[in-house]
Amino acid sequence: MTNQHEKARLLHELHRPGTPLVLANVWDAASARLVAEAGAPGIATASASVCWTLGARDGGGADGGGLDRDRAIAQTALIASAVDLPVTADLEDGLAATAEGVAETVTALLATGAVGVNLEDAAPEGGLRPLAEATARIAAARAAAERAGVELFLNARTDLYLQGVGEPEQRLDLAVERALAFVEAGASGVFLPGLGELTLIAAFVKAVPVPVNVLGFPGGPSLAELASAGVARVSFGPGLAKVAYAAVDRAARELYTGGGYGGLEGGLDYGRLNGLFLA
């Protein structure tokens, strides 16, 4: 599959409520190829994982320190060129201060061959962007995709639950309000991280007329339970990267504190890793 339009159509088709698309988020070419070899039908990046591999801090906020657009796009291009699958990129808030800047980000993203994007409503200084501002950014992203002639899967994320906005009993209604506005602005799907209660997930799915993405995490609802709630996409954020870096941390600490090599056991074979990049 080499055609960007075919990949875009496939990514849309893979979002089936009740049969969720499972996305083990990656951060570089090797992780992308390993996930593809494991049987993934599509590839998603995680902004936190990409930040860490590029030496940036996730969620830099108003004081800076986060991921810049050029580096994020370059890393996405590397990942997209490493796999023959639909690629969707987590680009945080669009990596731009204005809606016009978000449009420029999406234009650059589509030039990499990627066919999906995550855009979140978190404000750089904390909290959420005003709804009108958040929807304007989504509309600008959609317009940029239409100008490029690509059926971009625009996954609009609200951080309402992650940031604890509003009273607990109000959050579902507030999340639905934002989701419906995102859909009207051009979102293809809605991502609601931070919510792990199945009954509330099911209620959100029922209230939103597009595919719903939730975050999978250890101890949370199983894939089967999320499928039964009507979820269409389950992603895992920086989960894989955290596991990989934990292995580095354990092995390095053993080497420098006890002199042991046990932490180096069980690694992937050199030949297999090198073989990921055979011409």
CATH number at residue 95: 3.20.20.60
Minimum mean pLDDT range among 46-60, 95-109, 202-216, 238-252? 46-60
pLDDT-based confidence at residue 259 (cuts at 50, 70, 90): confident
Nearest to residue 108, comparing CAs of 143, 69, 153, 68? 69
Has residue 278 been placed in a domain? no
Strand pairing category for 43-44 and 212-215: unpaired
* Distance separating alpha carbons of residues 1 and 39, to the nearest angstrom: 15
Instruction: Provide the 10 A C-beta neighbour count for residue 127.
Output: 14
Strand partners, 19: 16
CB contact at 8 A, 91 and 72:
yes
What does the pLDDT look like over 102-148, one tens digit per residue? 999 999 999 999 999 999 999 998 999 999 999 999 999 999 999 99
* Distance separating alpha carbons of residues 48 and 215, to the nearest angstrom: 14
- What is the domain extent for residue 181? 4-238
Q: What is the DSSP letter of 16?
A: B
pTM of the predicted model, to two decimals?
A: 0.95
* Distance separating alpha carbons of residues 250 and 256, to the nearest angstrom: 10
Give the phi and the psi of residue 191 in degrees, each rounded to 5. Answer: -110, 125
Has residue 183 been placed in a domain? yes
Alpha carbon of residue 16 to chain centroid: 17
Angle between helices 131-148 and 171-185 (to 10 degrees): 30
Question: Domain count of the chain?
Answer: 1
Which position has the token pair 């979140």?
Answer: 120
pLDDT of 1 reads: 57
* Distance separating alpha carbons of residues 174 and 169, to the nearest angstrom: 10
pLDDT-based confidence at residue 60 (cuts at 50, 70, 90): low
Instruction: Provide the 10 A C-beta neighbour count for residue 245.
Output: 14
Instruction: State the average pLDDT over residues 29-57.
Output: 97
Has residue 41 been placed in a domain? yes
CB contact at 8 A, 11 and 154:
no
Structure tokens at 84: 């023959």
Has residue 269 been placed in a domain? no
Has residue 264 been placed in a domain? no
Structure tokens at 89: 């990129």
Nearest to residue 11, comparing CAs of 1, 140, 165, 163? 1
Instruction: State the average pLDDT over residues 98-104.
Output: 98
* Distance separating alpha carbons of residues 28 and 45, to the nearest angstrom: 8
Q: What is the DSSP letter of 26?
A: B
Rounded to the nearest integer, the mean pLDDT of the chain is 95
